Structure 1
């Protein structure tokens, strides 16, 4: 399912984009979920509450928080979300460059251009989506890394805790750690039994951490310095 956010303080524009997206996705046979926001601040709060979007249509000039500031927050979280601006951008060109926009849409929206840009975004998303793949009881699974909160080792099994449900497979956490090390999403080993997605860490102490889901996990003495160094390094990159 494609997850899309529309953020514009102009209600007719958000309605138009939503209608166009539903029409095009029916044509492409793409399942999608659309969330609509009328200011950048609300959008950012939603994203910080561990809600991920593949694509965001973002207006530049909004009163509460403009599109540039919202985009900076999205980029600070190291998410591979594509951004399509739906406003004139000449005045903001240098600022927009730093937040890696995918495309620019001028108002009024041109249908052909809108569909072409969506098609290009869809192709990019399909190429770039990062997954964790595994097998259990002869069934094969493919889970977006963006949805994985943490991995847990239990005897011979690894439990995958996601934002939606839990999965399990037979394996070792060491192997899981190696397989996730080269992806955009940073996973931190905090304990012999836990491998955590950095994006979901909300607070950190020497002996434990709190995840965005409210779960508290211990940090073992073996990994304490490594966790602190890794966490600070990633924070500096934000």
Structure 2
């Protein structure tokens, strides 16, 4: 169950957003909704982990969305925040509280619906995990934490920011499991999470932890496409 909060002082828009989400995902979705009509209202009902996603109107009376988000972010760093507004002048302010998305209410409907969907899908991407055996114990590993996976001497090595885990399996199986999640192969022995790529050069890529990986000519387009698609998903 994904817990979604909608905070907007226009009740009509709260109803509209609920209908829009139902249009995207259908009636039989796994969402639980709570609505709030002011910043003060959601703050008085907020605690860490209370919600997975918050859609927040910026232009509210009394305590506006940005001030409300500052308070929420001081308590919960993981909740996904998406700002809603009729104006584009607040776009840069939203990123000061690590907002995932800035959504104009009156923009072209296909783009608007895509942004709503991307926001909700981000929860699935961010908190999706795999299970692997480590020292004969089955453990969860968050996919968002994976930098890359390599196959070496019949072993699978899963690299995180500052450590790695060794397990068994086939690289192809991981490739199939991560379809649609911005993973790509820079060569035949590695599978990289584009979410953790810093930049791409002609024959190598730099990861956010400072590591470099070689890119073969055959796989260059695959890496670039994954990196561009991931970057675009963050700003469209």
Q: How far apart are 1:161 and its partner, in Å? A: 2.1
What secondary structure does 1:214 align onto?
coil
Could you state the TM-score of these two structures normalised by the residue count of structure 1? 0.51
Q: TM-score, normalised by structure 2?
A: 0.52
Displacement, 1:210?
0.5
- Per-residue deviation, 1:196: 0.4
Does residue 85 of structure 2 align to residue 55 of structure 1? no
2:224 aligned residue: 231
- Residue 65 (structure 1) aligned to one of 76, 81, 91: 91
CA distance in 1 between partners of 2:124 and 2:218 (Å): 37
Change (3 A) 1:210 1:14: farther
CA RMSD between the two structures: 5.1
3-state SS of the aligned residue for 1:21?
Answer: coil
Equivalent residue of 1:228, what SS?
helix
Shift of the 234–164 alpha-carbon distance from structure 1 to 2, 3 Å rule, reads closer
User: CA separation in 2, counterparts of 1:187 and 1:127?
Assistant: 12
- The answer to whether the aligner puts 1:96 opposite 2:109 as a matched pair is no
With 156-165 and 137-146 compared, the bigger mean Cα shift is at: 156-165
User: How far apart are residue 233 of structure 1 and its match?
Assistant: 6.6
Alpha-carbon distance in 2 for matches of 1:179, 1:126: 14
2: CA distance, partners of 1:68 / 1:98? 19
**Any gaps of 5 or more consecutive residues in structure 1?**
5-12, 40-51, 76-82, 104-120
> Residue 204 of structure 1 corresponds to which residue in structure 2?
200
SS in 2 for 1:177: helix
For structure 2, the residue ranges without an aligned partner over 5 or more in a row are 5-37, 55-64, 68-76
How far apart are residue 15 of structure 1 and its match? 7.0
Task: Say whether the 8 Å CA contact 1:58–1:67 is kept in structure 2.
Answer: no
Q: Secondary structure at the match of 1:99?
A: helix
Give the deviation of 1:22 after TM superposition: 0.3
